[in-house]
Amino acid sequence: MSQQQQNFGSLLLIDPDENARDSLELLLAGRFDVDSVDGCDAALVEVRRRQDQGLPPYDALLIDLDLGRHCADGYETLHWLRGCEGYSELAVPAIAFSRHLCEVTVLRCIDAGFELLLPKHGDPDVLCAEVELLLGVEGLERPQPIRIAA
């Protein structure tokens, strides 16, 4: 089995932009099991559905910080998800992505408990490599909080 066909874990992708979700899902699908939703409420429903089915928590959360028209932004969404059984900061790493990579965004990500901040439309290979690194794929050590990946 080639590396592109291996499954390295399960991800919950939260992004209000359907086209972006579809693109990211397609990009990540060869390496990860990906479920995608458009906002906080849908993410909470998906986590509860997974629990009801007896499935383990997702291995990582990928959250757009600007959830647009939805009631909670990415920081609040992570806060609500952390309250779900099995989704503590130590159990499930969270990756933020944003169009705005400024000092304020970095500080808010640290405060919220994100482990990685990526540019919204960055290099897809970097995204896959960073998620694999974060999950400790192929014996790689999990990085220390928070880094900005170019």
Residues 29-60: tens digit of each pLDDT: 888 999 999 999 999 999 999 999 999 999 99
Amino acid identity of residue 64, one-letter, is: D
Amino acid identity of residue 148, one-letter, is: I
Residue % of the chain over a pLDDT of 70: 84
Is the CB of residue 140 less than 8 Å from the CB of residue 133? yes
H-run or E-run covering 36: strand 33-37
Is the CB of residue 50 less than 8 Å from the CB of residue 57? yes
For the segment(s) 3-148, the CATH number from 3.40.50.980, 3.40.50.2300, 2.60.40.10, 3.40.50.970 is: 3.40.50.2300
Residues 71-111: tens digit of each pLDDT: 678 999 999 999 999 998 888 999 998 888 888 989 999 99
Q: Which two tokens stand for residue 150?
A: 């170019």
The whole-number pLDDT of residue 55 equals: 95
Nearest CA among 15, 80, 18 for reference residue 47: 80
